[in-house]
């Protein structure tokens, strides 16, 4: 192969590589940066903009919280640990997670059922209830009223005639 043909083949190969490179980088005029002729210049412009952004990036400041600062990962970890400790409080280790509480409640199903029954059997003061005569008598006895079925007229007449 002659030298001029080899030079032409080299020029075609270089041209193909340039087209491939342009295709991979895209049209630089579409960049939102001021620098549009060089990717390096555009990236450098972004680095400067990000580094000096007053509201675009958050600086680390463990002393305060604001819209323009954030805590360090160490401070965030400490705050999360503190919040968990406050939530757990003085719960025993066997009941300091929701999973452990759920398991305990499942184990105590009969106790929970008993509590539900007890709550359902209470005498309400905020709404009317339908109680059997026995339930009414027990409720009245519990609050010191006595038997609501006592015939008070008969008791009065008996007392009046004595």
Residue 13, both tokens: 């190969």
pLDDT in tens, 40-58: 898 888 877 776 655 555 6
Asked whether the whole model's pTM tops 0.75, one would answer: no
Sort residue 145 into left (φ over 0), alpha (ψ -120 to 50) or beta: alpha
Rounded CA separation 14/20 (Å): 10
pLDDT in tens, 94-137: 888 888 888 888 888 888 788 888 888 888 888 888 988 888 88
Q: How confident is the model at residue 55, as a pLDDT? A: 52
Rounded CA separation 137/151 (Å): 14
Q: Which helix (H) or strand (E) holds 70?
A: strand 69-70
* Tally of residues, the chain: 162
């Amino acid at each position: 192969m002659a030298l001029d043909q080899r030079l032409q083949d080299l020029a075609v190969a270089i041209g193909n590589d340039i087209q491939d490179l342009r295709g991979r980088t895209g049209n630089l005029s579409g960049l939102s940066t001021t620098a549009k002729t060089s990717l390096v210049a555009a990236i450098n412009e972004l680095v400067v903009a990000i580094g000096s952004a007053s509201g675009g990036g958050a600086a680390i400041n463990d002393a305060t919280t604001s819209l323009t600062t954030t805590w360090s990962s160490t401070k965030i970890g400490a705050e999360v640990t503190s919040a968990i400790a406050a939530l757990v409080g003085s719960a025993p280790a066997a009941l300091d997670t929701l999973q452990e509480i759920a398991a305990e409640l499942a184990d105590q199903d009969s106790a929970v059922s008993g509590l539900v029954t007890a709550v359902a059997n209470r005498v309400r003061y905020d709404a009317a209830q339908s109680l059997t005569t026995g339930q009414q008598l027990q409720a009245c006895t519990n609050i010191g009223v006595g038997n609501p079925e006592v015939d008070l007229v008969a008791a009065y007449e008996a007392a009046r005639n004595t």
